[in-house]
Amino acid sequence: MTRNGQISRRNLFRRSLGIRTPENDGEPKGQPDGFEPIEILPEPVAVQDATPEKILKRINAEPAYRLVLPRLLAFCFEPRSAGEIHEELMCFSVMRTAAHTPKMLLAWMIETGAVARYMEEDSEKGSKDARWLTTEAGIEAIAGRDPAERLRRLLDEEPEYSDIYRMILEFCSCERSISEIEYLLRAHPALENPKVYPSYLVDRLEFTGALEWTGKWRAAETGKCAQGNTD
């Protein structure tokens, strides 16, 4: 892949995360306010048989971290030190009580070839420092994992529960416990035959990124946008 092709691929990745790039359709040429141009980065050497499918399989095999791991890959779009990665991931509430450390999550992504070592020159020290950078396979694995798209897919796949999903998201505009959500949905006819437990619906919404855990459940930005939307 050419250097120009590489920068284009990485800008596509930024765009999938909602980050502005000079290549975005309709944007004026030059640098819009608040935009910092991306430097062309060499692709790090990764596991040779790494594929987006294998990376996604690894992410999905860790349900407790299935939202954190894609954010790790997004954070490593730019070269990051292990310390920076630790600090970033510890911002997620799930990591404060997690069984695995940020270092372990990074190791998982290195093993799959989603992240690889990138040696960055330190001009002051006259040496190279190890950083971690998302690989091409890692980029492809999470590009398109847009929370809004995942939520739309969920509502399309389970139309019989779409109104209930929206009800939960609206209810969780304020932080709610699982017992409060269960009380809200008590004896709801759509959940009786076949029997579906509220915890299943909450888990599905968390997987899309529409609900987040902060000690209680609350609607994330994607979930707030979906409230009352019947399209």
pLDDT averages per 10-residue partition of the chain, 231 residues: 40 46 39 33 58 89 83 87 90 80 93 87 70 88 70 83 93 94 93 86 82 86 62 46
- CA nearest 24: which of 37, 36, 15? 15
Helix, strand, coil shares of the chain, percent, nearest 5, are 50, 10, 40
Q: Are residues 34 and 110 in the same domain?
A: no
Q: Are residues 138 and 53 in the same domain?
A: yes
Q: Are 77 and 13 in contact (CB under 8 A)?
A: yes
Task: Give the pLDDT confidence score for residue 1 in this predicted structure.
Answer: 36
Task: Give the pLDDT confidence score for residue 127 in this predicted structure.
Answer: 65
Q: List CB contacts of 143: < 8 A, sequence separation 6 or more.
A: 12, 13, 16
Q: Does residue 194 form part of some domain?
A: yes
Tokens of 128: 């190279």
Q: Are residues 83 and 103 in the same domain?
A: yes
Domains held by the chain: number: 3
Q: Does residue 231 form part of some domain?
A: no
The 10 Å Cβ neighbour count of residue 231 is: 5
Tokens of 75: 């954070």
Q: Are residues 71 and 19 in the same domain?
A: no
Sequential DSSP letters for 1-53: --HHHHHHHHHHHHHHTT---TTSTTPPSS--TT--PPPP-PPPP--TT--HH
Question: What is the number of helices (H) and of strands (E) in the chain?
Answer: 12, 4
Q: Are residues 114 and 183 in the same domain?
A: no
SS3 state of residue 124: coil
SS3 state of residue 129: strand
Which residues span the domain enclosing 220? 147-226
Q: Are residues 60 and 27 in the same domain?
A: no
